[in-house]
Chains A and B, each alone.
Chain A
Amino acid sequence: MGFFDWIIKLLSEYWMLFLEGSGYTLAMAISGTIIGFLIGLIVAIIKTTPTDPSVNPIKRAVVRFVGWILTVYVEVIRGTPMMVQALIIHYSLFARIGIHPLLSAIIIISVNTGAYMAEIVRGGIISVDKGQFEGAEAIGLRHFQTMFSVVLPQAVRNIMPSIGNEFVVNIKDSSVLSVISITELMFMSKSAGGTYVQFVPAYVICAAIYFIMTFTVTRLLRLVEKRMDGSDSYVICGSQSDYHSMIKVKGGDDGCR
């Protein structure tokens, strides 16, 4: 039998395995990226909270202490392989208290992604022009109001490409979580190839599925970016030349008043 015949044979016999494996992979990657992003957002917000002398001393001490703990979290998680983290955390803790491996895997991948996202979001926040903070503060907005209404929307828009990177990395790197007996795509491909000892065709199928998933995700995120940017055109409400004679459009959906 030729190479392509093996691919067709494996696909027709084991499509369920590939499908199930893809399901696990996507479940881990999607939830890991979303939860990891939320963790990163919280960490970055705390780490960029001002601690200059004008802030009251108790709040400053708390922010600094929590910031220090978060630095340890980011450094330790970024500095060790996810596979090792999974083995340690799952077998020493989660497996013993009977947590399902998939939940275990989602927690591990989220915590791992969170550490990278924290730095990505922090980078996004400090890349927003300082004038945006000043413009908000000068009219009386408080730090967190400024963050949520002005700075974070711009920071998140700017880091969308990096978030996409993390998403793609998660789709691929979740394969290491087969060590805690998750039957994700990589594991399933190995099983499918094992029966006839035809590993290469099985892994080619596996690679193709990974590529389809990552390519789809990057395209979808592009669409999200476009949505965030909004339209390049805008409606002029009433007459441009003489604003006093503005034609009021009430109840129209163009947003004019």
Chain B
Amino acid sequence: MSVIEVSHLRKVFGDNEVLHDISFSVNEGDVISIIGSSGSGKSTMLRCINYLEKPTSGQILFHGRDIASGDIRIPDYRAKVTMVFQSFNLFNNLTVLDNCTLGMRKVLGISRHQAEEAAVSHLATVGMDAYIKAKPRQLSGGQKQRVAIARALCMKPEVILFDEPTSALDPEMVGEVLNVMKLLASGGLTMIVVTHEMAFARDVSKRVIFMDKGVIEEDNTPDVIFNNPEKQRTREFLSRVLE
């Protein structure tokens, strides 16, 4: 059974229908890249999966259960399907270590000591364990994003949603974040990545979804999408971004 299934998802802001009838499923260990132009609804869809945006209609199923049904509490669901943001959203008032331990202590009920042990090991995974005492404002963009990834890992999530994780970074810092993401992908973590990094989508993901104007135009393997796309729109988009 799929971990997450998005079924006939629609999202409307006022008169503007941002997502029309989106359906796809995510299996354990999948790394799915979502590509498409700005304004195509990629981020909104990801935010709906984390329930930061409430779907107008349609369902998000987590292990077959509708997350809106009340069977699972939204905060508990979010701890399992957590999110990494374009603008990092690290807690500015807390140190790197406390950023990582807060969720474990408050949501998972882990003791401070155990949470800190786990946080340091996840920070080591992203190469940020030397900075446990630093505050977010003292870090570079790439370092912040790596801490944000460690913070997500600390929740022991089943899925991590990445919302354009490298778009706010200087070009030279993009690599360090992508390397961490590649490491996680090879470790078998289920990931849904909204990205403009075509190389990552092509080389790391198992599936690529191309979105355009609020619908899924094409959902296929990276090989098909990049080498032999079925849709005209996919071809046009790729020729624009790959030059």
Contact = CB atoms under 8 A, between A and B. Distances in A.
Interface of A: 53-54, 129, 131-132, 134-142, 145, 149-150, 153-154, 157, 230, 232, 234-240, 243-244, 246, 254-257
B91 A135 contact: yes
* A-B residue pairs, 4 tightest by C-beta: A135-B89, A140-B79, A138-B83, A131-B89
Contacts, number: 110
B58 to A, nearest CB: 16
A243 B96 CA distance: 15
Nearest to A228: B93
Given A141-B107, A234-B138, A243 B91 contact: no
Interface string B76-107: 11110011010111111110010000110011
A135 B106 contact: no
Interface of B: 50, 52, 54, 75-79, 82-83, 85, 87-94, 97, 102-103, 106-107, 116-117, 120, 124, 127-135, 138, 148, 151-152, 155
B102 A243 contact: no
Given A149-B106, A234-B135, A256-B133, A134 B127 contact: no
A189 to B, nearest CB: 43
A131 B138 contact: no
Given A142-B75, A236-B130, A132 B106 contact: no
A257 B127 contact: no
B74 to A, nearest CB: 8
Given A140-B78, A145-B106, 4 more contacts: A137-B78, A150-B102, A153-B93, A246-B129
A136 B91 contact: yes
Contacts of A139: 78-79, 82-83, 102-103, 107, 151-152, 155
